[in-house]
Amino acid sequence: MAPSFTPSGAEANAAYGGDRVTVLGIPSTGDRAAESLLRYRLTDATQKFLDQQQLTEIVLRVGTRPTGAAKASSLPDPAADPDTRSIADRASHYVATEPDYQFDFLVLPEETVGQLMLAVNAVLLRPIIFDDWGLRKIEPHPSAALNFHGKPGTGKTLAAHAIADRIGRKILVSKYSQLESKYHGEGPKNLDALFLAAQEQDAVLFLDEADSLMSRRFEATSHGSEQAVNAMRSELLMLLDRFEGLVIFATNFVQSYDNAFDTRVRHIRFPDPDHRARAAIWRNHLPDTLPKAGDVDAERLAEIDGLCGREIRRAVIDAATTVAISGQDHVTYDHLAEAARNVVKSRIARPEGTPKPASSELTASVRSAVASEPTTEPTPERQ
């Protein structure tokens, strides 16, 4: 049988026979040029793939998916009854969105930016390195997996968006607690669906709360919840080996990672901003459009020690709100400095090394079990 593209659920109404590839079902849109181009691209790409992989036959399904941003309510509900939907069906609920941020907004030490750019270039140069230079022979599924770790509010999510923007891709955002399920086997299926969705939409996959997934596997699993987490970890390992895109994990609780993950992901630490970085972050968060008094000076604001990027953002918004409420014309240095000090004062005091609150009961049980393992020796990121 010749390889074919079949639009799921749609009637084939056009056919194209290449040497060994058949494309069926491209709809008549009235735009003949666009139809021909799509047909040509599908045929050409498939024939190249068959030749490279020395395959004689593949069957692909090309479906349409909902447009617009993913609504929280349309995502799989981890508490819902186990469902019988196929992986492809589940995948259709994960919809990538345009990145929210660009690289020039991100303030990080040069070394960290260098590490991020390496990852960006690894994706951009893939056709040369793997296809032209033949490195697919040693790595048939080239992918890039990064693990961003650092304290809350240090720019991990921002960096994931910035990278997606830099390589011209959408971003598919999810987190562990959206994937886990109390029902056996559901978590791995959700994970499968998420990776499938990212692959199909050619999106950067951003997976938050990664510590729950990447830490060491439980040796003796008597609890259902531990078995469920182990199953998700095994699935993740397999998916990482097959995934051809860029996946970014993020955590602010660095556990002792399973060796298997340790060597599969590139770890990038997001440090607390120092004085210079704080000044740059203040500058980026004080746009020209914000009415400011002449005494507003990012260098001076950066003297206020210990603020992370998110707290600087908070302080700017609080100061602007105060000014707007009181009917004043300009944000002054004092407004911003007072807002910044209030942000620091309002922090919840936590003892060193306390893990962040668990996002669900299952996550909590996993964290406490891992934390109590004597040989694990987690190195938690200070909160």
Q: Using CB under 6 A, list all residues that contact ligand ATP.
A: 105-108, 150, 152-158, 252, 270, 281, 284, 309-310, 313
What does 99 bind: ligand ATP, Mg ion, none (CB cut-off 5 to 8 Å by kind)?
none
Q: Using CB distances below 5 to 8 A depending on partner kind, what does residue 309 bind out of ligand ATP, Mg ion, none?
A: ligand ATP
Is 103 or 218 the residue whose CB approaches ligand ATP more closely? 103
Smallest distance from ligand ATP to CB 72, Å = 17
Q: How far is residue 211's CA from residue 359's CA, in Å, rounded to a whole number?
A: 12
| Residue nearest ligand ATP, CB atom distance | 309
Smaller CB separation from ligand ATP, 157 or 190: 157
How far apart (Å, rounded) are the C-alpha atoms in residues 119 and 104? 17
Pair of tokens at residue 337: 């400095």
Closest approach, Cβ 317 to ligand ATP, in A, equals: 10
Q: Least CB distance from residue 179 to ligand ATP, whole Å?
A: 17
CA distances (Å), origin 79, targets 76, 120, 121, 193: 9, 36, 40, 17
Residue 160 CB, nearest approach to Mg ion (Å): 8
> Contact at 8 Å (CB) between 187 and 76?
no
Q: Which residue lies nearer to Mg ion by CB, 159 or 228? A: 159
Nearer to ligand ATP, 184 or 276 (CB): 276
Bridge partner list, 273: none
What ranges make up the beta strands (E) of the chain? 4-7, 15-17, 22-24, 59-62, 144-150, 171-175, 204-208, 246-251, 266-270
Q: Which residue is nearest to Mg ion (CB)?
A: 157
Nearer Cβ to Mg ion (157/212): 157
Taking the complex as a whole, the smallest distance from the CB of residue 47 to ligand ATP amounts, in Å, to 42
By C-beta, is 193 or 250 nearer to ligand ATP?
250
**155 touches which of Mg ion, ligand ATP, none (CB within 5 to 8 A by kind)?**
ligand ATP
Positive or negative: CA dihedral 210, 213, 218, 221: positive
Handedness of CA 102, 108, 109, 114 (dihedral sign): negative
Q: Which does 267 bind (CB under 5 to 8 A by kind): ligand ATP, Mg ion, none?
A: none
Give every strand in the sheet of 246-251, ordered side by side.
171-175, 204-208, 246-251, 144-150, 266-270
Binding string, residues 134-173; x marks residues near Mg ion by CB under 5 A: ----------------------xx----------------
Structure tokens at 208: 């938050």
CB of 270 to Mg ion, least distance (A): 10
Q: Which does 281 bind (CB under 5 to 8 A by kind): Mg ion, ligand ATP, none?
A: ligand ATP
Q: What is the DSSP string of 295-321?
A: T--HHHHTTSTT--HHHHHHHHHHHHH
- # residues contacting Mg ion (CB under 5 A): 2
Complex with Mg ion: residue 143 or 154, whichever CB lies closer:
154
Q: How far is the CB of 264 from ligand ATP (least distance, A)?
A: 22
Q: Kindly tell me which of 150 and 245 has the beta carbon lying closer to Mg ion.
A: 150
What's the distance, Cα to Cα, between the start and end of the chain in Å? 59
Q: Could you give the C-alpha distances from 211 to 149, 214, 268, 283, 361, in angstroms and in order?
A: 9, 5, 14, 32, 15
Least Å distance, CB 158 to ligand ATP, is 3
The residues, any chain, with a CB within 8 Å of residue 23's CB and separated by 6 or more, are 4, 5, 14, 15, 16, 39, 42, 43
Residues that bind Mg ion (CB under 5 A): 156-157
